[in-house]
Amino acid sequence: MLEELLKIREEALKRLEEVESESDLSELNVSFLGRNGALTSILRTMSKLAPEERAKLGKEANEVKQFLAERFDFVRSAIEKKAEERRIKAETVDVTLPGTVDIPMGKLSPLTVVYRQIRDALIGLGFTTFEGPEIEYDDYNFTKLNLPLNHPARDMQDTFYINDKVLLRTHTSPCEARALMTLKPPFRVVIPGRVFRVDEPDASHSPVFMQMEGLVVDRNLTIADLKGTIDTFVKAVFGENVKSRLRPSYFPFTEPSAEVDISCTICGGKGCSSCKGTGWMEIMGCGITNPHEIENCGLDPNEWRAFAFGVGVDRVACLKYGINDIRLLYEGDARFLRQL
């Protein structure tokens, strides 16, 4: 029986070297140390031995059992460690590797595209960018632009007032006053920025929208210079086949004033529902800067003349892309942008 114990020990050690999984280890443990295992079978025969042999065999059997139990625990720990290493390796992410999923690239908003087109067209005409604050003084937003306190034209623009003297600018024209007061003429500036008016959002109105304004200051400017600049600007933004015209209008900060119409980009000037059958579409206002504004900003209107024009970037974007709801420009819906 002692020889049998040694054989069981050696057999168990040999088979432990071949174990690769915890399930294999459990089966091996049962076959050797389980209730019906090889070692247990020997212990059941001890009752047939003489007392002195029984004691010797019991001691040897317990030593073999303890030794095998320790080896089984050691192998089990090694298997668990390898399994943990495999799990960690499988879950590890190398952030330096290139991605395996194609992430669709974003697209520029129509507002951004049109803004850049207008800006680049004017820069090509010698304009430079000039910017001002969105939170503005009433003095710059109205008074210096020839709109004194009781001027009826103030009612044309519903204003977000912060206090009696400070407001959210209702147009980019306050930057005209700032440019006239800070830049040395002659100069040409393009003024981009957000403006704010008390409007209920709908398909054609927004309380926040974007304007771009052009201002040219020089000696002996005429309305012909304004018309030539407008015509060049329109062709650069809308295409060589688009015509422009000036239609008399009124703005308190220009005299004379005009609305700028372009030949309908939908029907080519033939007349359609978009242009209400006229063949023309209004896009912006313009005019020769009122001498009072020039004087309010510290320049001599007898020496310097100016002309200005302002366009809603939203309006141009809707015309160029056939967008029928201005709110789409501000909602950031990726499904809308992917269509453009």
pLDDT band at 306 (very low <50, low <70, confident <90, very high): very high
Q: Is 195 exposed, middle or buried (0-12, 13-18, 19+ CB in 10 A)?
A: buried
Q: Please give the model's pTM, rounded to 2 decimal places.
A: 0.67
**pLDDT tens, residue by residue, 61-100:** 777 778 778 887 888 888 888 888 888 888 888 888 887 7
The top-scoring range by mean pLDDT among 51-60, 97-106, 245-254 is 245-254
- Predicted confidence at residue 89, as pLDDT, reads 84
Contacts of 157 (CB under 8 A, 6+ apart): 170, 171, 197
**pLDDT tens, residue by residue, 138-173:** 999 999 998 888 877 676 668 899 998 999 999 999
More confidently predicted of 254 and 331 = 254
The DSSP call for residue 329 is G
| Token pair in block for residue 268 | 């080519």
Give one DSSP letter per residue of 8-74, joined into a string.
HHHHHHHHHTT--SHHHHHHHHHHHHSTTSHHHHHHHTGGGS-HHHHHHHHHHHHHHHHHHHHHHHH
Contacts of 211 (CB under 8 A, 6+ apart): 171, 172, 192, 193, 194, 195, 310, 311, 312, 313
pLDDT at 44 over 70: no
Q: Is 260 exposed, middle or buried (0-12, 13-18, 19+ CB in 10 A)?
A: buried
pLDDT band at 50 (very low <50, low <70, confident <90, very high): low
- Predicted confidence at residue 156, as pLDDT, reads 62
As a whole number of angstroms, the distance between CA 224 and CA 244 comes to: 13
- Predicted confidence at residue 166, as pLDDT, reads 93
- Predicted confidence at residue 292, as pLDDT, reads 92
pLDDT at 57 over 80: no
Least confident piece of the model among 231-235, 273-277, 299-303, 310-314: 273-277
- Predicted confidence at residue 173, as pLDDT, reads 93
Mean pLDDT of 178-191: 95
pLDDT at 280 over 70: yes
Mean pLDDT of 117-129: 92
In whole numbers, what is the pLDDT of the chain averaged over residues?
A: 85
